[in-house]
Structure 1
Amino acid sequence: MMHGQFGPPPRPARKRWAIALVIAGAVLGAALASAAVFFGYQAHAARDTGRENTIKVVGSMTLTSSKGWDISGGKCTGSGGYSDIHQGTSVVLKTSSGKVIGVTQLEGGTVSGTGCAFIWVMDKVPDGDAFYTVEVGHRGALSYPRADLTGVLSATLGN
């Protein structure tokens, strides 16, 4: 079969547009997939490097005044001028710059020697400051060096 002296007849314009559209779609799809993988990896890497080291901080508040606590139902609680010290009293932990990094509550009081002791625990506290402050209720902040956070932070209130 003969097509003329210059080769096969030209393709219809419609087919050329369809082929160009398919190629452009494939290129665009590959570019979008590559971008999704790249940005997904970047977000994952940012999450991994942004993780802070955390520590568990444990503390106690002991009422030492013999007239500052009562026993009821096997538990002790603050009384008189110390009635604000009881199970549920807030404990706030801050960095040396004043940023709050942990909040918890006193657990139920137990008789300990000649006092009434309350324990508190904070999990996953961001680590990295040289000094931290702890405030139990409205009793004022106590400052502790970072090294002390590996043990029990003990505070007393009373005589």
Structure 2
Amino acid sequence: MPDHPPAVPTYRWSRLSRGAVLAIGAGLGAAAVGACWAGMSLAGQSGDSFSTDGTLTVTGVGGGLDSGEPCSGTGGYSDIHFGTQVTITDAAGALVAMGSLGLGQKTEQGCEFPFTVDDITPGSKLYTVEVSHRGGLSKAEDELRTGSLAFTLGD
């Protein structure tokens, strides 16, 4: 048996002080967080999203109400009301943005609901705008960017 125990191998990290190891670890962690942040920021810049707005008018609804009074769809249009979902899909049919109808107001034509849809992903030649389950209407990207869309349901 040898008179002394075998030598313990020395590793590079064991020669550094505890503070130095902590500083190196903090630096590597900060670099990783920074790289993730930069990657996520650049990934979101594939094209600036945009918004659109418009109105949906349900004709023949709101009889007996004064102009400007709150209203909602009735009868066969009872699915059209404040909060009804507005979806926008791209040419491939993928959902790219969602919004909802605002509070309906009585107009001469019927009950008019404003809507805004934010964060629309750009780059599709055509988009389909659909309210509730009523079937979609196709619009070009420049039409959506311009906004002031006007849709009508009813007679």
* TM, length-normalised to structure 1: 0.71
**Aligned 8 A contact 2:57 2:109 in 1:** no
- 1:151 aligns with 147
Q: How many positions carry a matched residue from both structures?
A: 144
Q: Deviations over 1:3-62 (max 9, x none)?
A: xxxxxxxxxxx9xx6x98324878866654553344233212212211141212212111
Q: What is the root-mean-square deviation in Å for CA atoms of aligned residues?
A: 3.3
- 2:3 aligns with none
- 1:6 aligns with none
Q: Measured at CA, do residues 70 and 138 of structure 1 come closer, stay the same or move farther in structure 2, by a change above 3 Å?
A: farther
Structure 1 unaligned segments of length 5 or more: list them. 1-13
Instruction: Report deviation, 1:148.
Output: 0.7
Q: Measured at CA, do residues 81 and 26 of structure 1 come closer, stay the same or move farther in structure 2, by a change above 3 Å?
A: closer
The structure 2 residue matched to 1:82, chosen from 71, 77, 83, is 77
**In structure 2, what is the Cα distance between the partners aligned to 1:42 and 1:117?**
48
The structure 2 residue matched to 1:112, chosen from 100, 107, 110, is 107
- 1:131 aligns with 126
**In structure 2, what is the Cα distance between the partners aligned to 1:33 and 1:138?**
53
Instruction: Report deviation, 1:123.
Output: 2.3
Instruction: Report deviation, 1:118.
Output: 0.6
Structure-to-structure mapping, 1:60-99, within 5 angstroms: 60-64=55-59, 66=60, 68-70=61-63, 74-99=69-94
1:40 aligned partner, one-letter code: V
- 2:40 aligns with 47
2:86 aligned partner, one-letter code: V
Moved more, 28-37 or 107-116: 28-37
Instruction: Report deviation, 1:146.
Output: 0.2
Say which structure is richer in strand. Answer: 1
Show structure 1 runs of 4+ deviating over 3 A.
23-35, 68-73
Instruction: Report deviation, 1:127.
Output: 2.4
Q: Which has the larger radius of gyration?
A: 1
**Aligned 8 A contact 2:56 2:153 in 1:** yes
- 1:142 aligns with 137
Asked if residue 35 in structure 1 is aligned to residue 18 in structure 2, the reply is no
**In structure 1, what is the Cα distance between the partners aligned to 2:108 and 2:122?**
33
* TM, length-normalised to structure 2: 0.73
Structure 2 unaligned segments of length 5 or more: list them. 1-6
